[in-house]
Amino acid sequence: MGAVEKLIASIRTVLDFLLLHIANLFYPTKKSCLPPIKESVLMEPAVVIADKIRNGKLKAVDVVRAYIKRIEEVNPLINAVVKLNDAAIDEAKEIDEKVELELRGYVPEGGISIINLPLLGIPFCCKETVGVKGMPFTAGLVARAGEVASEDAPVIRNLKANGAIFIGVTNIPELQYWWVSDNKLYGRTNNPYDLSRIPGGSSGGEGAIVSSAGTAIGVGTDIAGSLRIPAACCGIFGHHVSPSVFPAEGMVPLIDRGALTARMFSFGPMCRYSIDIKPMLKAMAGSYISKLPKIDDLVDLKKLKIYYMIEDGDPIKTPVQHEIKDAINKIVSHFEDKYSVKAEKVHFEKMKRAFFMVLATMKEANAPRLASVLNNGSEINVIYELLKCLLRCSEHMLGTLSFAATEKYFPSKETQFTQNFLKVRDELKKQFYELLGEDGIFLYPSHPEGAPKHGTSVLKSPNVGYTSIFNVLSVPVTTCPVGLNGDGLPIGVQVVAKQFNDHLTIAVAQEIEKLFGGWVPPCIVDC
């Protein structure tokens, strides 16, 4: 690191110190606020619950009631769920009736049994930007207040077809274009481990309610870390599926923009237990699971090639906390000792330019300007709205407007500036794919620190580069919880593989869960 970079890194350290102490004045620490978990069913993996329901040992209606009760207990504190599904209990009763009939030997009409549906009776939530018929579909945008979805998104239809029961939609940033789940319609979502901190975004409400044991599983989306940042901040698992597996249908705002969708975007599972990732992924994908032909392949961990990188060296990002570095080193040592795998530490210098590669990719894809999407097609004056926002007179959020301004004034795809970053992206992808091959995985921090304080996200936005880099590389990533840091906040590690090798990242995530214990409840467990 040269003299200039050292100076910038020093300024970053001082800025983080000041941000923390200033934020503490407005958002004092509020830990251990959630009520205890008292229902044992809330502590079980989804696949275990489904097995008990299909065997008649548990009623789906009791499961749904337990989760809805939990939401009602925690939501006044975390503000994660914006609307519950009033029909969820009736849907659970219907499942119970069909299960009871089949257990008595009744053959369903058409011979179609529900007994073996993989997510039978499992409650799930999804972020408000994913369409669920009759539910709010505003993306937290004032101009869309009162909008409801006219139909289920394909991923929602697929989950329901696999036995899952939808119970509620969760909070997001305005138009899901920021990493703090706050908007003018629903307000701010808080982190369940410390209410003075963010849950991440854009799937922040989802991360918060899954971590709080308010739903068994959750549906997130990811175009720059939107489900992995909340997963890390809230101490759960989040899987960014290989881009191009899912069509981006049933979303608001529309993400299906050709090259951008194929390269960067994906839906993905969010859950507390790694064993639920694959069944949920397969259920969400439906027939599209054929794009992951190796998803059910057994993974021999002894034959893996492991590469890791502790930090990207970018001086404008927050330094990676030592607990996160220690976690990566512990994973490396574990695989070397238990599976005789020789791990190799590597460094991709180009990874520090993730933010510019994201913007260049959006320009390349001719994505509609956020400044237009914010106003349903008519472009707003971003600078004027920023000034209004600082005076608390705007209908839009500071983070969203900041991104809109950056996106608007970023050079067009025809300029040499943008072309240079597209070239860097393609060179990095080639190097990365050649290194990993078909049996390699890459370990990397999910975020350089635990969940930041409210009010600090704009000045900490470069930190999103730790997740967004993998969107531009078009690879699958599983974020894994690896315990709590010294402040009692969850920290996470990403497991990355070559495109369509999702089965490798999921298998390694299951091993990491055994090593660290997985999800740590944000409250007392009294059951």
Residue 446's beta-bridge partner residues?
A: none
Provide the CA 192 distance to its chain's centre, in angstroms: 16
Q: Alpha-carbon distance 165 to 283, whole Å?
A: 13
- Among 519, 514, 493, smallest CA distance to 441 is for 493
**Catalytic option among 203, 226, 402, 446:** 226
Cα dist from 276 to 115, 141, 231, 387, 499, whole Å: 18, 32, 14, 45, 21
Q: Position 52: which residue type?
A: K
DSSP string, 202-220: SSHHHHHHHHTTS-SEEEE
**Catalytic option among 127, 317, 363, 460:** 127
Q: Catalytic residue at 226?
A: yes
- Let me know: does 471 contact 323? Beta carbons within 8 Å: no
Q: Catalytic residue at 303?
A: no
Give every CB contact of residue 6 below 8 A, 6+ residues apart in sequence. Answer: 315
DSSP string, 339-399: H----EE---GGGGGHHHHHHHHHHHTTPPPHHHHTTTTSPP-HHHHHHHHHTT--SS-HH
Q: Position 386: which residue type?
A: L
If residue 16 lies in a helix (H) or strand (E), which one and from where to where?
Answer: helix 3-26
**Catalytic option among 181, 196, 202, 468:** 202
- What residues act catalytically? 127, 202, 226
